[in-house]
Structure formats: C-alpha cells, structure tokens
Structure 1
Amino acid sequence: MGHALAIIGLGKIVRDQHLPALAGCDALTLAATVDPVAAALPGVPHFASVEAMFDAGIRLDAAAICTPPQMRAAIALPLLARGIGAFLEKPPAAGMAQAALLADAARCSGATLFTAWHSRMAAGVEPARQWLAGRVIEEVTITWREDVRQWHPLQPWIWQAGGMGVFDPGINALSILTAILPDAVMLEAARLEVPGNCQTPIAARLSLRSANGTPITADFDFRQEGEQTWRIRVDTDAGALLLDNGGAVLTLPGSAPAIAPDEEYPALYRRFAHLLDTGTSDFDLAPLALVADAFLLGEVVQVDDFHE
C-alpha cells in the first residue's frame, strides 16, 4: 500500500501535477484530502480542515501541503509535531523565520521535511550541474518572463503580502541556479516593480554574485505576452550552456538541444518516498533566502495597477 499521504489544498497545481504523479507512485497512497472549498475526489475521504481530519482518526504517514504559501507553516507545524512527514510545495513558507520553525519542529519529532523545488527535477538540471562542475563560470543570465493571466488566473493570494508575486515562478529559476552552480549565491541589489493595487511585485530585476565572484542577473516579469521565456544562460570558459523551458531543455556548446519528457512531479514524489523510507529530510532554503533578501534589499518602484 505504501505510505499513507494526505493532500492539503486542492488547487490547480494539485490537479495538474500532484494527482497524476501520485497515481504513478506505488510507494505512496492517497489517504485523504483537505480543502474548505474544493470538492472531494471520488473515493477519497475529504475534510474541510486539518483538525477535522485529525478528529476523524485518519492514519497518516505524510502530507503534501499545497495551499498558498501564507498558510503552509501553520498547517505543517501540527503535522510535524505528530511525526507526520511534510512535503512542502514551493516556496516552503512565506518567510525565513517560519521556515526555521519548521526545521526545528522536524528535528524535534524526527519527521521528514521536504522542500519540493520541482524545477530542480527538470530533465536538464542535473546534467547541467555535472557539466558545469570544474569549469570556469564567467557570467549567468536568467530571463523568466511569463503571462500571469495564463499561469495564475484568478489567484488573488499571489498579490497579497506573503504571496510572492512574480517570485512565485521566479523562485523556480533561483532553485535551479542554486542547484547547478558549485558555489553559494548572494543577492547584491534588486528592483521590485509593484502595482499600485498590489502588495507584491509584478516584475523584479536582481543583481547577484556567487561566492567566487561570478556576476549573475535575473529578469523576472509577469507581463509577458506571446512566447513565454524561462531561460538560464551560463557563460563559461568552454562556451555557453543554455537551460530553456524551465530547465527541461539543455543545450551544451556545440550540441543540439536535449529534450526529455516532463518528470518533475513524479521525481519529487519518488524522492519524498525515499526520504520517508529512510527517516531523513531534504530542507534546502537557499532559493527562499534569496527571495527574502530581495524584499529586504530591493528598491520598490510603483507601477500601473494590475487587473485580471
């Protein structure tokens, strides 16, 4: 039967990605769902709150928390206290202090804690990391521009404090960046463009640097129309490496683009099942720390109001 898992939050990402991935994972069994608004799935116990699920006596080994980020820490803490492993959709929390509390709770209870950076599981990411190892990295340029109306329709939480705005997709790029570079990365400066009727940025420009001095720039924008762009370019002493389509397509110098099927979420659940089996955690906060620093250090510029 595998580990008994609850899914908390039944939004678009769950229906598009989590449920199909779980259906193909024998190591995990969907035991319950929690959402105060969404309809139940056929044949799966459904609850309006985590407390109601606890009261019903559902046996759980783990839970995937797929709510807006503002809610994740408060939901995860009582689960971890009961020894229930937590799979946290990205970003794992709305702030670094919340994330630190989760790490402490997992250490105290021995529960598994997993930051599910799905873009790190894109087909080109691990080959890119291996190719870059030992090479001189001269410059990194990130261009992550998409249409928010297409990818986040009618999701007002993304514009509220803690919702991340354009960093909701942008943190995917930072998760890849911190996975493929051999050195740690720090933020030096940021420009955040915030609509007058929102609390989070619709666009951001970041200046970063690796520990060995490599300059890195990132351009995040939610206002892209037409072709969408999710690209990381790494210039090295051996030529330029390109990761396109969010890490799915890798192009090495002198080679044709390498394209592979999308296996991000199946790979995440396989990884989570392994962590549960071994009683270990994988809780990397490097991408979240860079976003937090952008809010701390960034120059805020007001731009036109955003309307769906």
Structure 2
Amino acid sequence: MSKIALVGIGKIAVDQHVPAIAGAPEWELAATVSRRGTVEGVEAWTGIDEMLAARPDIGAVSLALPPVPRFAYAEAALRAGRHVMLEKPPGATLAECHVLAALAAKMGVTLFASWHSREAAMVAPAKAWLADRQVTGAHITWREDVRHWHPGQDWVFEPGGMGVLDPGINALSILTEILPAPVHLQSALLEVPANRQAPIAADLAFSGGVTAEFNWLQTGPQTWDIQVHCGDDRLTLREGGARMEINGHDHDEAVVGPTGEYPRLYERFARLVAAGESDVDLAPLVHVADAMMLGARKNVEAFEF
C-alpha cells in the first residue's frame, strides 16, 4: 500500500476522492492539504510545500482543487519527485498541462490527467461496439442543475472556471474515448449571464455530424445522454455512461474491476505508477478551448445562486 496526499478538501473530494481512496487496496490516505477542509483521522496541512518537506514518505499527490490554482500545486509536487493525479479538467489552459507533462517526464514520475466519466460502467463496452463501425453522426444532451452540483461556488463562472463546459467536458471526455475517429469543432454558441464571465449554456457543432447541447439550469431529473448513429444502428449512453442502449434496447455487460468511477481512477493511477507511465490525454480540453476561441457569445439573464 502506497501513501497518498489529497489536496483540496471540498465537495468533490469529500463525495468522491476520500471514499475512493479509503476503499482502494493500493492507497493509504496519509495527509490532506486544504485552507479549511480536513478529513477525520488524517494529518492535515494548510500548505503543500510544508507537507512535501515534512512527509518524504508520501509518494503520490492527488489534486482536487479548482483548475486555476492547481498548476502551482502540481508543479510543486512534481518537482518534489511525487506522482500526481489531476482532477478533471487537468488545468486551466492547455499550455500549463503541457508544462506539467514535460516536467513529469523530466522528473521521472507519473502524471495522470484523470477523466472520471471515462470510467463509467458502459464507456468501455460502447467503445468496443463502435470500434469497427462507421459513425454517421452523434448528439450529446448534457443538462444539469448548477445549484445542486456547485452550490454557491462562484469560481465556476469566473475566468478559468469554464461555466457549463465544466460538466460538459465530462461528456466530451466520453465522446473522445468512444469515437473510432477524432472530430474537431466547427462552431459554437455560448450563452453567458450578464453578470458572469463563463457560459451557462452552450451549443457545439463538430465535424462528422456531431453536435452537443449543454445547459446548467435543468432542475429535477438530470440528463446525461450521448447518442451515436452508425447508419441504421443507434447506440445511446445514458446517465453519464452508466447505461447503454443499442437501438433502444438495454445492453448490459459485466464490469471488470472496482465499482464506481473514482475507485477505477485510483486503480488506474496505481497501475500507471507501477508501470512508470503517464497518461495526459488533453483531447476533451482541446474541444473546450476551441469552443472558447471559436464560439459566438450571447448575453442572457443574470444568474445568482
């Protein structure tokens, strides 16, 4: 069992990272770093430099911070020779992700840019089903309630927060995993509240007949669907990849390995460390960056939590 430190003890850390590490036979949560949050029974620090200096026995660091401040923490951990796992998205910009990847290679440690939605139960079966088929089109419908998932978290609407493209990148991480050939963005419409900096809704159009609809104002049941057309055949991933339908009929397969997206992430991180490898796939972030560069902006009603 290897010791790991968790940095950023907020909602995603408490809901997902802490229980996933607790259930992982490969990892022991040995320390946390957070300005305010702590985990009961675990050594707590407020600064990463102090933790790294005091705990050379901790060989890995998982970062669950928002993307904008994350680079400095990742850089410090890598320079200290620690393996690093990044919560999605891996950074606020593509350039800083490339810097971190180069630094990890130089230091001889693992860097894992994790995409938790790729670990949903039916993503691998969907990829296998599509592998030898000709995709003729696809559509993403990703509608959720920002007030539920990010209550009072203004940073999601600030520069670098990505707005609705923060959950949208989960869908894009699945799309880029399952499609047998890459696509690129051709146009986008971003709806930005009058008092915010990042979009609350977005419509994207890609090459190959692929489209996406993201909205952060849906209440009640949430919608996380991806539909892929292959001529007359249709594959649909529902509930963020937890369920798969082929031509409208449920398609179930046995899931190998741990149950749950984050437990599978930590298992993969352990395998990467053991193999001396990194995984820094930036394809989903490329699509978000392209949307921010290419997208037309439409001002809409102000938003308050």
TM normalised by structure 2 equals 0.96
Match of 2:202 in 1: 204
Match of 2:57 in 1: 59
Deviations 1:212-236 (A, max 9, x none): xx21000000011222110000011
After TM superposition, give the deviation of residue 259 of structure 1 in Å. Answer: 8.2
**Contact kept? 1:250, 1:259, Cα under 8 Å:** no
User: Aligned letter for 2:67?
Assistant: P
| Coordinate RMSD, CA, aligned | 1.4
After TM superposition, give the deviation of residue 59 of structure 1 in Å. Answer: 2.1
Displaced runs of 4+ in structure 1, greater than 4 A?
Answer: 259-262
After TM superposition, give the deviation of residue 280 of structure 1 in Å. Answer: 0.5
Deviations 1:9-68 (A, max 9, x none): 001111111111111111111111000111x22221110110221343352211110001
Tell me which of 240, 245, 256 is aligned to 1:251: 245
Match of 1:30 in 2: 29
Match of 1:119 in 2: 117
Match of 2:220 in 1: 226
Q: Which moved more, 1:85-94 or 1:223-232?
A: 223-232
Counterpart CA distance in 1 for 2:100 and 2:228 is 34
Deviations 1:197-225 (A, max 9, x none): 1111101110111xxxx210000000112
**Contact kept? 2:125, 2:253, Cα under 8 Å:** no
Tell me which of 244, 263, 287 is aligned to 1:290: 287
**Contact kept? 2:243, 2:250, Cα under 8 Å:** no
User: Aligned letter for 2:179?
Assistant: L
Counterpart CA distance in 2 for 1:280 and 1:133 is 25
- In the alignment, does 2:186 pair up with 1:188? yes
**Contact kept? 1:65, 1:89, Cα under 8 Å:** yes
Counterpart CA distance in 1 for 2:287 and 2:191 is 17
User: Aligned letter for 1:99?
Assistant: C
Match of 2:233 in 1: 239
Match of 2:106 in 1: 108
Counterpart CA distance in 2 for 1:294 and 1:165 is 12
After TM superposition, give the deviation of residue 254 of structure 1 in Å. Answer: 6.1
- Report the 3-state secondary structure (helix = DSSP H, G, I; strand = E; otherwise coil) of the residue aligned with 1:137: coil
Percent same amino acid among aligned pairs?
48
Size of the alignment, in residue pairs? 302
After TM superposition, give the deviation of residue 258 of structure 1 in Å. Answer: 3.3
Match of 1:267 in 2: 264
After TM superposition, give the deviation of residue 91 of structure 1 in Å. Answer: 0.1
**Contact kept? 1:249, 1:259, Cα under 8 Å:** no
**Tell me, which stretches of 5 or more residues in structure 1 are unaligned?**
none
TM normalised by structure 1 equals 0.95
User: Aligned letter for 1:147?
Assistant: D
User: Aligned letter for 1:245?
Assistant: E
Q: Which moved more, 1:92-101 or 1:255-264?
A: 255-264
After TM superposition, give the deviation of residue 238 of structure 1 in Å. Answer: 4.8
Counterpart CA distance in 2 for 1:256 and 1:244 is 10
Q: Which moved more, 1:257-266 or 1:297-306?
A: 257-266
Match of 1:306 in 2: 303
Counterpart CA distance in 2 for 1:260 and 1:164 is 35
Deviations 1:162-217 (A, max 9, x none): 011101100000000000001112111111111111111101110111xxxx2100
Counterpart CA distance in 2 for 1:233 and 1:53 is 45
User: Aligned letter for 2:154?
Assistant: P
